[in-house]
Structure 1
Amino acid sequence: MSSCSDEAIPGQPIVLGCGQLCLDYLVTVASFPIPDQKIRGTSFKVQGGGNTGNALTCVARLGLPCRILAKVADDSHGRYMVEELESSGVDTSFCMSAKDGASHFNYVIVDNQTNTRTCIYTPGYPPLLPDDLTESLLLDVLDGVRVLYVNGRSREAELLLAQKAHSKNIPILINAEKKRTGLDELIDLADYAICSTNFPQEWTGAPSSPSALLSMLIRLPKLKFVIMTLGEHGCVMLERCSSEVSGSEEETDIDELHESLKQSTDFTSVLPVCNSSGDWL
Structure 2
Amino acid sequence: MISLYATSNANFTNSFSPPPSPPRSARFKMSHDSLPRLSENQIVLGVGGVGVDFLAAVPSYPKPDEKIRTTSLKVQGGGNTGNALTCAARLGLTTRVISKIANDTQGRAILEVLRNDGVDTSFIVVSEEGNSPFTYIIVDNETKTRTCIFTPGYPLMMPDDLSQSSLSSALDGARIVYFDVRWPETALVVAQEAARKNIPILIDNERKREGLDDLITFADYAVCSAKFPQAWTEAASAPSALVSMLLKLPKLKFVIVTLGEDGCIMLERSVDEIPDIEEMDVDSLLGSLKQRKNDSTAIPTYVSSPVTKLRANGIGTVCGRLLVGTAEKVPPEELLDTTGAGDSFVGAVLYAICTNMPPEKMLPFAAQVAALCCRALGARAGLPHRTDSRLASFLS
TM-score w.r.t. structure 1 length?
A: 0.91
Check conservation: 2:38, 2:92, Cα contact below 8 A: no
Q: How does 1:34-183 map to 2 (within 5 A)?
A: 34-183=63-212
Query: What residue is the counterpart of 2:287 in the other structure?
Result: 259
Q: Aligned equivalents of 2:307 and 2:57: distance in 1?
A: 42
Tell me the alpha carbon deviations over residues 171-222 of structure 1, each in whole angstroms, 9 at most, x when there is no partner. 0000011112221110000100011111000000000111111110111110
Q: Offset of 1:93 from its aligned partner?
A: 1.4
Q: How does 1:208-247 map to 2 (within 5 A)?
A: 208-242=237-271
Secondary structure of the structure 2 residue equivalent to 1:161: helix
Q: Aligned equivalents of 1:205 and 1:243: distance in 2?
A: 29
Runs (4+) off by over 6 Å: none
Is there any run of 5+ residues in structure 2 with no aligned partner, and where?
1-36, 309-319, 321-396
Q: Offset of 1:267 from its aligned partner?
A: 3.3
Query: What residue is the counterpart of 2:304 in the other structure?
Result: 276
Which amino acid in 2 is paired with 1:265?
K
Q: Aligned equivalents of 1:40 and 1:269: distance in 2?
A: 37
Q: Offset of 1:268 from its aligned partner?
A: 4.3
Q: Aligned equivalents of 2:137 and 2:307: distance in 1?
A: 40
Q: Offset of 1:168 from its aligned partner?
A: 0.2
Q: Aligned equivalents of 2:109 and 2:295: distance in 1?
A: 39
Q: Aligned equivalents of 1:241 and 1:256: distance in 2?
A: 19
Higher relative contact order (CA 8 A, sep 6+): 2
Q: Offset of 1:10 from its aligned partner?
A: 8.0
From the superposition, tell whether residues 37 and 230 of structure 1 become closer, same or farther in structure 2 (CA, over 3 Å): same
Is there any run of 5+ residues in structure 1 with no aligned partner, and where?
1-7
Check conservation: 2:54, 2:73, Cα contact below 8 A: yes
Which amino acid in 2 is paired with 1:190?
A
Tell me the alpha carbon deviations over residues 45-99 of structure 1, each in whole angstroms, 9 at most, x when there is no partner. 1111111001000100100111111111111101111111111111111112111
Check conservation: 1:74, 1:98, Cα contact below 8 A: yes
Check conservation: 1:11, 1:144, Cα contact below 8 A: no
Q: Aligned equivalents of 1:276 and 1:112: distance in 2?
A: 35
Check conservation: 1:177, 1:199, Cα contact below 8 A: yes
TM-score w.r.t. structure 2 length?
A: 0.65
Residue identity (%): 56
Check conservation: 1:21, 1:104, Cα contact below 8 A: yes
Q: Offset of 1:266 from its aligned partner?
A: 2.5
Segment of structure 1 superposing worse, 192-201 or 266-275: 266-275
Which amino acid in 1 is paired with 2:113?
E
Segment of structure 1 superposing worse, 204-213 or 133-142: 133-142
Q: Does 1:14 align with 2:81?
A: no
Q: Offset of 1:242 from its aligned partner?
A: 4.6
From the superposition, tell whether residues 65 and 84 of structure 1 become closer, same or farther in structure 2 (CA, over 3 Å): same
Check conservation: 2:176, 2:202, Cα contact below 8 A: yes
Q: Offset of 1:253 from its aligned partner?
A: 1.1
Segment of structure 1 superposing worse, 149-158 or 106-115: 106-115
Q: What is the CA RMSD across the aligned residues, in angstroms?
A: 2.0
Segment of structure 1 superposing worse, 11-20 or 141-150: 11-20
Aligned counterpart for 1:197 among listed residues 212, 226, 243: 226
Q: Aligned equivalents of 2:70 and 2:260: distance in 1?
A: 23
Secondary structure of the structure 2 residue equivalent to 1:27: strand
Aligned counterpart for 2:235 among listed residues 206, 213, 230: 206
Segment of structure 1 superposing worse, 23-32 or 43-52: 23-32
Secondary structure of the structure 1 residue equivalent to 2:122: strand
Secondary structure of the structure 2 residue equivalent to 1:25: strand
Secondary structure of the structure 2 residue equivalent to 1:93: coil
From the superposition, tell whether residues 269 and 10 of structure 1 become closer, same or farther in structure 2 (CA, over 3 Å): closer
Q: Aligned equivalents of 2:241 and 2:43: distance in 1?
A: 31
